[in-house]
Homo-oligomer: A and B are copies of this chain.
Amino acid sequence: MDENSFGIRDGEVAIPLPDHYDASLYFIGRIHTPWKQRRDCPKNPRESNEVCTIEVDPRWAPALARVESLSHIIVLYWMDRSRRDLIVQVPRHYGEKFGTFALRSPARPNPIALSVARLVGIEGNKLKVVGLDCLDGTPLLDIKPYFASTDAKPDAEVGWHAGRKNAEGKR
């Protein structure tokens, strides 16, 4: 299967989507990365030290006040090329079936992706960060402060992943 295709693999299950949406989103900026195609993207954020740029639309730029005091941010973005109807997936590099909610795959009912990024600097409406792995031009949804007190769970375990080499359930 072509790496950029979004077909279904053997064992995957797609369902009919609901007939209406329940809420709507604004794209509030774009993420600029060195990766123009899916096959170029790092498999997970630990695999790259590239500095990426988050460009916030000028409309929302004043909302960045005091973000410069954060060492890490949570970045939410929209995986706009992903199919939303898969409930069971077979990631290529695992070759086994998983429920969508056990994976970080971009294919999910609401393709909101989340990365924890280290903030390197801010200039105006542009943030320099390390720790993203998405395609160039990805739409931005939100930026949040990362609080170690509530967000860091260093002892968390992903049972299905124990003993495997790759750190993420991406396809």
Is A6 in contact with chain B by the CB < 8 A criterion? no
Q: Tell whether, in the assembled complex, residue B45 and residue A150 are in contact, meaning their CB atoms are under 8 Å apart.
A: yes
Q: Tell whether, in the assembled complex, residue B156 and residue A99 are in contact, meaning their CB atoms are under 8 Å apart.
A: no
Interface residues of A in 104-159 (CB under 8 A from B): 104, 108-110, 112, 114-116, 118, 131, 139, 141-159
Q: Tell whether, in the assembled complex, residue B142 and residue A147 are in contact, meaning their CB atoms are under 8 Å apart.
A: no
Give CA–CA (A28, B99) in the complex, Å.
Answer: 15
Q: Tell me which residues across on chain B come within 8 A of A104, comparing CB atoms.
A: 144-145, 147
Give CA–CA (A38, B22) in the complex, Å.
Answer: 22
Give CA–CA (A156, B117) in the complex, Å.
Answer: 10
Q: Tell whether, in the assembled complex, residue A76 and residue B167 are in contact, meaning their CB atoms are under 8 Å apart.
A: no
Q: Tell whether, in the assembled complex, residue A69 and residue B23 are in contact, meaning their CB atoms are under 8 Å apart.
A: no
Q: Tell whether, in the assembled complex, residue B167 and residue A147 are in contact, meaning their CB atoms are under 8 Å apart.
A: yes
Contact with B along A47-84 (1 / 0, CB 8 A): 00000000010011011111111111110101010001
**Contact of A63 with B110 at beta-carbon distance under 8 Å, contacts A22-B26, A78-B23, A148-B156 already known:** no
**How many copies of the polypeptide does the oligomer hold?**
2
Task: Looking at the assembled complex, report how far the CB atom of A26 sits from the nearest CB atom of chain B, in whole angstroms.
Answer: 5
Cross-interface CB contact of A116 among B13, B88, B153, cutoff 8 Å: B153
Is A41 in contact with chain B by the CB < 8 A criterion? no
Contact with B along A24-48 (1 / 0, CB 8 A): 1111100000000000000011100
19 extra interchain contacts, Cβ-Cβ under 8 A, other than A63-B109, A152-B153? Answer: A18-B26, A21-B25, A22-B26, A24-B25, A25-B110, A28-B110, A66-B160, A69-B159, A70-B158, A72-B153, A74-B114, A112-B142, A114-B114, A116-B153, A146-B156, A147-B158, A148-B154, A148-B156, A151-B152
